[in-house]
Structure 1
């Protein structure tokens, strides 16, 4: 009896709630269908009638859907659509992926590989250890003689593993796609594409889409993103760090470096907070830029054409996301320091001793 009275009172309150808005109707439907036992309904108790229902959409299934799942799905879609700066995918990359991820001028190989052009005489006896570069040397010198010798210093390693490659030249030769060329080449050279079964086309599609979301700022642009990715690659290549990081940690570190300033508006966190900007309001004045960079980066991954992490398990994806968030949240510098710990000090001390 008491239960029946309670249900009558609940039904009355929900009726008023449902009349206020469409969202109220959805909530009331969910509560009634989930928590009110229809089998024991009092026949004298009036049932809640909904006067306005959501119109069906073309993508709506004809089969009945759980109210709670419908509400959660709509809430997720609405929330994700409010991420500022996210734009639709312009194109996907299909077919054979070029050596460096993007089409570029032939000289690009010289700037992506460790090559010394100090001596070009045929009297120099330096073998072509990295034979695929021969066509590029031919292009640069105009000499078709295969006996032409060039100085290749440890040519199995690339300039991307050293400090100081000409990032601006790489951007020029890659036709404005330095971030894609650098990040793709680093991941490929490290064997990460094979280790995690990363589809090359999906990776290039994501990186090009990521570049599209970098703004044309004087500093926080896609060139800077590629530059930081290359610098991170050098840091984690220190001999003293060999075997310290797992392959997944390396993948996350390169990814975080590439995305860490995507859609940067060109202002500091403090300026955005003081000016009461939309980004500051969205992220509650807490690490505004860092949260936004991460939101955009992972939102782009939700496009099936851009999801290059399809080969990862659920646990691996969660760990990948956690590492990436920690690195970007701490502005990379502190993230690298946290990852390296004392190894950073040892590495730089070793470097100083070497230079001395």
Structure 2
């Protein structure tokens, strides 16, 4: 019949759809539907201001003749306008729709138009006159002037609303006057007579109506946060003053553009380590103006990033994992375990752990099968990627990439991830781990921005390194047919895989750390916890695992999970066994020391001044990093995928660093 129809099968979907469209007519199935509570859904819709002019209809079951018709009062109290008994006759249902359209729906549309009209009239400062076809005044508002016997003119603001009586004829007139003498109008001489419908009087005045020079049409495209603010505004209208004041504070917070920028109470002048860690890793703004000694920093830059040509594929000494040494093979056999020692593999492979570990790990996950490529192409690709990691970097080298790859693979094998993430997700996670720091210069984003590095210019000071890693990873992957691991994928497969990989690599930027963590906690963990609590309260004992899986398997939730997976893998050093944790702590400190030395030598702003090799306390840097970035994230990750052994290592390592810090040991 030409109606535009939207269908939802649960309360959440229905309410979301309604808040997006604010439909004229809502029909809710009230026939003992197990998926939702019809009355509760109606109340939720009525709680919004826009539902004032929506017609909400309940469909009820057809009862046997011997049963009494139930009262409509409960449905009326819930907010329903009307109920209709189910009917298998299609023509009868169409007649009901036509009746609803020409009855309740059109009436509500007229009321909505009237409401909009009067809202507009309330904002008009000029005189307004509305008449019917017989020129009888239906509405009048403005300033009219009466002339006194003395000849003076008295201005009076007046609002006139006729009141219809029997037969539709106007029987009364309500007039609201607000006298105010306006001497600027005393010279006006033209007078107009206003004859009211019942002839009860004449007004003398000068109506003025400002003509519109242009008709402006504006279309509002609402974002989710706008909907949230609108719902809160609607809730305030019927709330006590204390609730209104609290919601005002909520709205003030929601309207800021820095929703996920945390407020650190620990950032005091006596805690420079925390201040520098947060400032150096989260903020990318310069701390001070460049000094006069660094005006030509580009010409003297010691950081060579954004190469125009990249390393050729090195000649590999292996053709497959069957030809590796016994020692390397023995180390690789422990790859699925969290106790895997990447430093041993680094030594055994002469700082080429990524090729060996990559082949082993990706074979276990069937990456070649998914990509429809052969092992030699994959090995060549891994060799090329590893060649573009800087071995001179103390921390951001191919050993770190291999470590992140192993951690990612370990997380992928947790039971929940095996059920939630599909084969394409697994492959995307592994490839993202391999390329996530490729061509890292051993300097931070803030450093590159401060030195006006070409990469910072290219990416507009936004996620400079992360954008570079993702872009270069794909450039290298298409460099040569011998390394082209994506060449056999069709366009849709490649596009989807590429989108996932880029999203994960960009998620490793620490500036977005708290945003990703908060979204994960609120969208994944809290919703899962709510479902578990609901199951517990309903007496079911254990939660409905299928319901939880259905919720976790949506594309948006899976994206949040993959972001958290690579983020945890990227900074998992404090969760490794103590010997490895200490090695990684020394390496990252040395890389920061080199950056500070470089900044001082070239007169650049010192991004993290506490990382001075002469004064820095490594134990202190580790405890602060764990406090600020690690504890909350791994608590959330542990709740999601149950990785208690990591938490045990984390607690032991924290105690170790704390003891060293309290003993005054810095190195």
| TM-score clears 0.5 | yes
1:339 aligns with 2:561: yes
1:105 aligns with 2:281: no
Q: 1:277 to 1:189 in 2, by over 3 A?
A: same
Distance, in Å, in 1 between the alignment partners of 2:467 and 2:503 is 11
Deviation at 1:317, TM superposition (A): 0.7
Deviation at 1:176, TM superposition (A): 2.6
**Higher-RCO chain (CA-CA 8 Å, sequence separation at least 6):** 1
1:200 aligns with 2:494: no
Q: SS in structure 2 opposite 1:161?
A: coil
Match of 2:498 in 1: 321
Distance, in Å, in 1 between the alignment partners of 2:482 and 2:417 is 34
Deviation at 1:332, TM superposition (A): 7.5
1:163 aligns with 2:338: yes
Distance, in Å, in 2 between the alignment partners of 1:316 and 1:99 is 28
Deviation at 1:289, TM superposition (A): 0.3
Residue from 407, 413, 438 that aligns with 1:262: 438
Deviations 1:249-286 (A, max 9, x none): 11110011111111111111111111211111111101
Deviations 1:198-228 (A, max 9, x none): 2111111111111111012000000000000
Q: SS in structure 1 opposite 2:310?
A: coil
Q: 1:236 to 1:352 in 2, by over 3 A?
A: same
Match of 2:307 in 1: 84
Q: 1:108 to 1:327 in 2, by over 3 A?
A: same
- Using structure 1 for the length normalisation, give the TM-score: 0.58
Match of 2:347 in 1: 172
- 1:239-254 correspondence to structure 2 within 5 Å: 239-254=415-430
Q: 1:176 to 1:165 in 2, by over 3 A?
A: same
Distance, in Å, in 1 between the alignment partners of 2:449 and 2:311 is 28
1:296 aligns with 2:519: no
Question: Which is richer in strand?
Answer: 2
Match of 1:219 in 2: 395
Distance, in Å, in 1 between the alignment partners of 2:496 and 2:638 is 23
Deviation at 1:86, TM superposition (A): 4.0
Distance, in Å, in 2 between the alignment partners of 1:352 and 1:201 is 34
Deviation at 1:88, TM superposition (A): 4.5
Deviations 1:168-187 (A, max 9, x none): 11122223320111111111
Q: SS in structure 2 opposite 1:217?
A: coil
Q: SS in structure 2 opposite 1:285?
A: coil
1:187 aligns with 2:362: yes
Distance, in Å, in 1 between the alignment partners of 2:439 and 2:424 is 25
Distance, in Å, in 2 between the alignment partners of 1:353 and 1:343 is 10
Q: SS in structure 2 opposite 1:242?
A: helix
Deviations 1:69-88 (A, max 9, x none): xxxxxxxxxxxxx9526415
Deviation at 1:305, TM superposition (A): 1.5
Deviations 1:34-79 (A, max 9, x none): xxxxxxxxxxxxxxxxxxxxxxxxxxxxxxxxxxxxxxxxxxxxxx
Contact 2:306 2:455 in 1 (8 A): no
Deviations 1:103-155 (A, max 9, x none): 54321111111xxxxxxxxxxxxxxxxxxxxxxxxxxxxxxxxxxxxxxxxxx
Distance, in Å, in 2 between the alignment partners of 1:204 and 1:265 is 24
- 1:102-141 correspondence to structure 2 within 5 Å: 104-113=324-333
Question: Which of 247-256 and 307-316 deviates more?
Answer: 307-316
Contact 1:264 1:289 in 2 (8 A): yes
Q: SS in structure 1 opposite 2:372?
A: coil
Q: 1:173 to 1:348 in 2, by over 3 A?
A: same
Q: 1:247 to 1:92 in 2, by over 3 A?
A: farther
Q: SS in structure 1 opposite 2:335?
A: helix
Tell me, which stretches of 5 or more residues in structure 2 are unaligned?
1-304, 521-559, 565-635, 652-667
Q: SS in structure 2 opposite 1:165?
A: coil
Deviation at 1:165, TM superposition (A): 1.0
Q: 1:354 to 1:295 in 2, by over 3 A?
A: closer
Distance, in Å, in 1 between the alignment partners of 2:314 and 2:494 is 25
Moved >6 Å (runs of 4+): 352-356
Q: 1:323 to 1:300 in 2, by over 3 A?
A: same
Distance, in Å, in 1 between the alignment partners of 2:310 and 2:414 is 38
Distance, in Å, in 2 between the alignment partners of 1:210 and 1:85 is 15
Residue from 450, 459, 462 that aligns with 1:274: 450
Deviation at 1:92, TM superposition (A): 6.2
Q: 1:352 to 1:276 in 2, by over 3 A?
A: closer
Distance, in Å, in 2 between the alignment partners of 1:109 and 1:322 is 34
Q: 1:350 to 1:91 in 2, by over 3 A?
A: closer
Distance, in Å, in 2 between the alignment partners of 1:222 and 1:354 is 27
- Using structure 2 for the length normalisation, give the TM-score: 0.32
Distance, in Å, in 2 between the alignment partners of 1:219 and 1:161 is 23
Match of 1:311 in 2: 488
Distance, in Å, in 2 between the alignment partners of 1:305 and 1:283 is 29
